[in-house]
Amino acid sequence: MGASGWHARVSYQNDVRAALQQARWDAYRRGAFYRESPNEQARALGEEEYVAWGIADIKASVPPELAGLEWSGDQHRTEWRAAQVVVTGPDSLVDAQPFSGTHSVIDMTGVADEPGHTMVAPAPREYLMELFGTTQPTVAAVEAAIEAHAMHGFGRWHGMYLFGYADRKPVEIFFVGRSGD
């Protein structure tokens, strides 16, 4: 499928971590995410049974000279565990589909000072100046940049946040990123 670009926004609040959690829950409640079909085979079998089935399936699909190799079953173990998750919110949704992600802000699990896997980091000052000509872009300017797909510069499974201003005061927090496989 490939990664998807996404964006989310919430009203300004001092705590960016709480704002991120609010954005994640908002996306979850609206159904604004990709949901993988549950793995019914993994749900129907026990863990060791599923791992053995998965390894046998791999061995049957590779050239005979590779079939004798040792296969760890780690991916099948992860698939089995993910299939057992009961989805009740953003965190359990992420746990239920560890390989595909949700292609949404839900994939972002924390706030960091620097870009990192599944983290949102503040938009760099230089980036804001380049894109908006100011470090305090208006809400309308941020909306226009998102609409024009002008916001970029972060890798897959990374996000950033920035504030939208009105009368020189922050009024919105925008989260923008790329995630999913």
Report domain extents, the chain: 4-32+100-179, 40-96
Q: What is the pLDDT of residues 88-145, one digit of tens each?
A: 999 999 999 999 999 999 999 999 999 999 999 999 999 999 999 999 999 999 999 9
- Residue 1 pLDDT: 58
CA–CA distance, 91 with 88 (Å, rounded to integer): 8
Q: Cβ neighbours of residue 73 under 8 Å, at least 6 residues apart?
A: 51, 52, 54, 55
CA distance 123 to 2: 24
Single pTM value for the model: 0.90
Question: How many beta carbons lie within 10 A of that of residue 10, not counting itself?
Answer: 21
Structure confidence by residue, pLDDT tens digits, 37-48: 989 999 999 999
**DSSP β-ladder status, 110-111 and 119-122:** parallel
| Token representation of residue 136 | 């305090």
Q: Determine the 3-state secondary structure of 93 from DSSP.
A: helix
- pLDDT for residue 57: 85
